[in-house]
Structure formats: C-alpha cells, structure tokens
Amino acid sequence: MSFLDRFQNKQSKNSQGVLNLTCTEDTVKDALRNVIDPDLNRDIVSLGFVTSIEILEGKVSVTIELTTPACPVKELLQKQCKEHIQNIPGIKEAVVTMTAQTRGAGIKPANIQKSLGQVKNLIAVASGKGGVGKSTTAVNLAFSLANSGAKVGLLDADVYGPSLTQMTKVGLPEKSVDGMLVPPVVDNVKIISIAMFNDKSKATILRGPMAAQIIKQFLSQVHWGELDYLIIDYPPGTGDIQLTISQLAPVTAAVIVTTPQEVALVDVRKAISMFDTLKVPILGVIETMSYFICDGCDKQHHLYGYGGGEKISNQFGIPVLANIPIEPKLVECSDKGTPIVISNKNNPAAAAYQKAGGECARHLSLLHLKNKDALTQFSLKWRP
C-alpha cells in the first residue's frame, strides 16, 4: 500500500468516524452537474463552464466562465451553484465567481485586421424603414451590454443622418501614433460617428461611392482595440452603405428594429431578405413603440398596432428580443445625450433595453455554439 493510499484510507475512516466526509474537486463537480444551462439544456460541467475549484476547510470557491458577460441567467446560475455546493455535507461556505469569455467569430480580412482584429462580434442594428428608433436602440443596446461588463464599441454608419453624437454627448476622436483614429469613450463605450467630422448644421451631401469610402475608413482606420461587441448603427433601407459594410466587415449577426404596424413590416421583410442574401444571421427583432402606458391606468395602449414583431418572428422563425414601450423619458434622454439605460435605469423602457441587450448576447452565444457544426451555406445538386 502506497503512502497516498494509506493516507486516503485513513481519511475515509476518519470521515466515517466523525461524519466529516472528504470533499474533493469531484464532489464539487458532481454537485455542479445539477446546474443546467436553460438555453443549452446541458449541465455547466460538461459545457466546460467550471474553470476553477478550490476547497479549503469547509469553504469552496469556484469560478464559472460564461460565454458572455451579459448573460441574462447569470444570477440564476450563480444562485444554483451556491445552493448545490452548500448542500454538500461538511461545506459551510460557497463562493461562486462569475466571469465571461465572449465567444467570437474567426478570422478577419487583412485590410481590416489592424482595426477590427480584436473585435469578437460585429452586430448590425438595422431596419427597413427610418424613424423606427433604430439609433436609440443601437445606443441603448451598446450601453446595456457595457452595463453588464462587456467591452463595447458603437459605430454610427448612418452617414446621411448621423445622430449618435447627439444621443451620447461624445467628444472628438484623437489621432494615434500609427495614424489610426482613437475613438472617444463615454461610459466605457467607444464611439465613432461621421458627425464628429462634420459641421453639425450642414447636411452630408455625398455620392454613394464617397459614403462607402467613409465607411471603409471607419472599418479600417479606427483603433477599436479589444471589444466583445461592436454595435453598428446602419442607415435605414437596403442600399449601398448596407452592402458596403456587410461586404467589408464580417458582420456576425443583425438585429432588426421595427414598430408594430404593417407599413414598417413590409420594409423589415426586405431588410431580412437583404441579410439573408448577404449570409448574415439575424439574432432577432426588437419592437419599438410597442405600447404606451398613460399615467391614468396600467393598460397598455397599442398606438401603432399590435404584434408586428411577433408576426415577423413567426414568419421567419426569429425571436422577438424585446418590446420597447413608448416613453417620454426615452425621448428626453436621447435628446439630452444621456442614454436611458445609464441615466434612468428603473424606467420601463430602460429595463426593456437592458433585457434586449441580454437577449442579444444570449442569442449570439447560442449562434456561435450552433454554428460550430451547422452548415452555413450549401448547394445540393439533385441526381435524376
């Protein structure tokens, strides 16, 4: 019998004697196997989320690494881990640390490698129609993800009607040593907009190729650094700029913004078909101006019709990420340049956007997991 065997033997005898069972890493792992990720339907141990386990005299410390810091079930998982560890006999204390390593898509083309090489996910925020609250959505998505601890950038690609400088009160970029622009930062979000280079009161009058050129610079000459998510605020419609961005940059996924009414949906379908043509997966729909709650009662008034996002969702099999209510405060915050998810966290619209951010991150993680062995593109010739 080796020394180790004898030691373990002695220990187990001891533990039987004084009812102090030895807790090993495996005991903790077995306990954590009861914690199931609700989206993936698998336990967090086999998913490889448990990155470290330390046991010290009745105290267990574990680290759980999720696929995104903005995971909507983070607190739930943390609570379950704690409970299951504390149920192990002899354990008095459980410390569960949640970290995240955002999953991202692979290699980027050489011309944008320097600028976007460390950007894990590029998310397009698009709509078929203007005036549906796309920029408001892009801004609040960005800040809600940053609120959850993710590294976020925001690119205003709406060259003809840039509004992000108004909505965030961002400063001007600096020129870095290697000739790249360094984006200014507001509340941990890096922002670049064409409005930073223009006279505010003057219209941007550009031919298509010029506008595309500017977008090209934003994608190749801005030092974005390491980012989990780069949110790109697309111009409305399905034209030149949209094509340029989607062809230049490997857009990971798109979020479609729509109001509930049918007129908006017609154009949403076009936007969806554009992304399909470009092979950009769609994460889901964010429905803005969904309902209005007046100060007289709690009833939801559907000023712009009902269920538009739902309709799109059913038709195309994509989820509704959030329904954003009509909120005077939301308009006020956008005009003042203080995003509602930062300045008025308890407002219903802020809560809805915070949820939207979590849902985006969650669906993106799932997308990466799914795409691991899914065919992204195929063509099958039928033999007669």
Partner 1 sequence: MNPYIGIKHIEQVDSKTLRILWTDDKVSLFDTVELRRLCPCASCVDEWSKRRTLKPENINESVRPVDIESVGQYAVQINYSDQHKTGIYTYKYLRELSLN
Q: By the criterion CB under 8 A, which residues form the site for partner 1?
A: 275-276, 279-282, 316-319, 363, 366-367, 369-371, 373-384
- Cα distances from 7 to residues 1, 13, 24, 26, in angstroms, run 10, 10, 14, 18
Query: What distance in Å separates the CA atoms of residue 305 and residue 261, rounded to the nearest whole number?
Result: 5
Query: What distance in Å separates the CA atoms of residue 287 and residue 137, rounded to the nearest whole number?
Result: 10
Hey, what are 105's tokens?
Answer: 């898509």
Hey, what are 117's tokens?
Answer: 């090489």
In the complex, least distance from residue 246 CB atom to partner 1, rounded to whole angstroms:
13
In the complex, least distance from residue 276 CB atom to partner 1, rounded to whole angstroms:
3
Nearer to partner 1, 296 or 317 (CB): 317
Query: What distance in Å separates the CA atoms of residue 144 and residue 147, rounded to the nearest whole number?
Result: 5
139 Cβ neighbours under 8 A, 6+ residues apart: 154, 164, 167, 168, 233, 334, 339
In the complex, least distance from residue 363 CB atom to partner 1, rounded to whole angstroms:
8
Q: Are the C-beta atoms of 230 and 262 separated by less than 8 Å? A: no
In the complex, least distance from residue 310 CB atom to partner 1, rounded to whole angstroms:
14
Query: What distance in Å separates the CA atoms of residue 31 and residue 28, rounded to the nearest whole number?
Result: 5
Query: What distance in Å separates the CA atoms of residue 340 and residue 330, rounded to the nearest whole number?
Result: 6
Nearer to partner 1, 169 or 279 (CB): 279
Nearer to partner 1, 59 or 269 (CB): 269
Nearer to partner 1, 147 or 252 (CB): 252
Query: What distance in Å separates the CA atoms of residue 270 and residue 254, rounded to the nearest whole number?
Result: 13
Nearer to partner 1, 346 or 379 (CB): 379
Main-chain phi, psi angles of 333, to 5 degrees = -65, -40
Nearer to partner 1, 138 or 280 (CB): 280
Q: Are strands 119-126 and 253-258 parallel, antiparallel or unpaired?
A: parallel
Given its phi and psi angles, is residue 69 left (phi above 0), alpha (psi -120 to 50 degrees) or beta?
A: alpha
In the complex, least distance from residue 260 CB atom to partner 1, rounded to whole angstroms:
19
Query: What distance in Å separates the CA atoms of residue 213 and residue 207, rounded to the nearest whole number?
Result: 10
Nearer to partner 1, 25 or 39 (CB): 39
348: helix, strand or coil: helix
If you ran DSSP here, which 8-state letter would residue 133 be given? Answer: S
In the complex, least distance from residue 315 CB atom to partner 1, rounded to whole angstroms:
9
Position 238, amino acid: T
Q: How many CA atoms lie within 13 A of 200 on its CB side?
A: 5
In the complex, least distance from residue 319 CB atom to partner 1, rounded to whole angstroms:
6
In the complex, least distance from residue 77 CB atom to partner 1, rounded to whole angstroms:
19
Given its phi and psi angles, is residue 370 left (phi above 0), alpha (psi -120 to 50 degrees) or beta?
A: alpha
Nearer to partner 1, 106 or 317 (CB): 317
Nearer to partner 1, 96 or 286 (CB): 286
Query: What distance in Å separates the CA atoms of residue 115 and residue 218, rounded to the nearest whole number?
Result: 9
Nearer to partner 1, 209 or 317 (CB): 317
In the complex, least distance from residue 370 CB atom to partner 1, rounded to whole angstroms:
4
In the complex, least distance from residue 194 CB atom to partner 1, rounded to whole angstroms:
29
If you ran DSSP here, which 8-state letter would residue 21 be given? Answer: P
